[in-house]
Amino acid sequence: MDKVIVGQDYVKALIKPRDPKAYKGTFGHALLYAGSHGMAGAAVLSARACLRSGVGLLTVCSPSCNNDILQVSVPEAMTIASDDLYANTDLSRYNAVGAGPGLGQGDSQTAILEKLLKNASYPMVLDADALNIIARSKYLLEYVPAGSIFTPHPGELQRLTGPASDYDDLIDKAKALASNNGITVIVKGAPTVTVSPTGNMYVNTTGNPGMATAGSGDVLTGIVLALLAQGYDSKQAAFIAVYIHGLAGNIAAGKFSMTAMTSADIITCLPDAWLQTEIQLQL
């Protein structure tokens, strides 16, 4: 079992250069299942973060009541109504699926999530209410595609694994969850730790208390989803996303203060974070 401290040099060496001959299909088509009545903002934040992290195409699945909000707030994304996705769960056009931000935990959300889990032939990113649904209906764990990424905060993790006595016990429970289900688990906190199915730990070095604000986790989910769609393996997509998320948060804190920053500010600062880490082409 290895413990890796994830800093800039480590991440920079793993960032894939953009192919000068690329087109939008080169960088993947992601499906994001997010939002509910009164929670369109979670879908918007996650979608914006995904688009700011290099994905080629993004389709957002949300209830029809959110369609106008999404079309105006995220014009680069396509949309599909939740009912339409349930009626035709054809995921062949997508390269990665994310689910959970602002989703709700009703019967319809559970049914759609189950269909997504059963039909996905590639890893998924599962966050927030998607994890809460799985915690309530543990049988869904057997359908989670191998290599998927869970992004729980400590409360969500303990709903999945049972109460932890302290931080070390929490990490041990995350390791067991990852190992038993062949998934990667991002334990959000200070610091955020990514645990691989083999028990390796990747300890993040970016981030600040200003990121403890509504929607910050939705932003992280969008970044992870974008990296998965671009072909990064699950482990790399997880800890690179965590690093970039924290770096953007640090840049935002410098611009807006830790007190005043919002999750939208983290998205605003994602371009600066990517500029610090990606290989620049001579244009």
What pLDDT does residue 109 have? 97
As a whole number, mean pLDDT of residues 150-170 equals: 97
> Residue 118: inside a domain, yes or no?
yes
As a whole number, mean pLDDT of residues 214-243 equals: 98
Residue 236 confidence (pLDDT) above 90: yes
> Residue 283: inside a domain, yes or no?
no
Q: How many domains does the chain have?
A: 1
Residue 60 confidence (pLDDT) above 80: yes
pTM over 0.85: yes
Query: Per-residue confidence at 132, pLDDT binned at 50, 70, 90?
Result: very high
Residue 211 confidence (pLDDT) above 80: yes
What CATH number corresponds to the domain at position 32? 3.40.1190.20
Q: Are strands 149-150 and 184-187 parallel, antiparallel or unpaired?
A: parallel
Distance CA 261, CA 247 (A): 14
What would the two tokens of residue 181 be? 């289900």
What would the two tokens of residue 185 be? 């688990």
Residues spanned by the domain of 71: 3-276
> Residue 186: inside a domain, yes or no?
yes
Alpha helices in 104-191 (DSSP H): 107-119, 128-136, 154-161, 167-181
What pLDDT does residue 282 have? 53
> Residue 124: inside a domain, yes or no?
yes
What pLDDT does residue 1 have? 60
Residues pairing with 201 in the sheet: 3, 195
Residue 280 confidence (pLDDT) above 70: no
> Residue 106: inside a domain, yes or no?
yes
The mean pLDDT value of the chain amounts to 96
What pLDDT does residue 2 have? 87
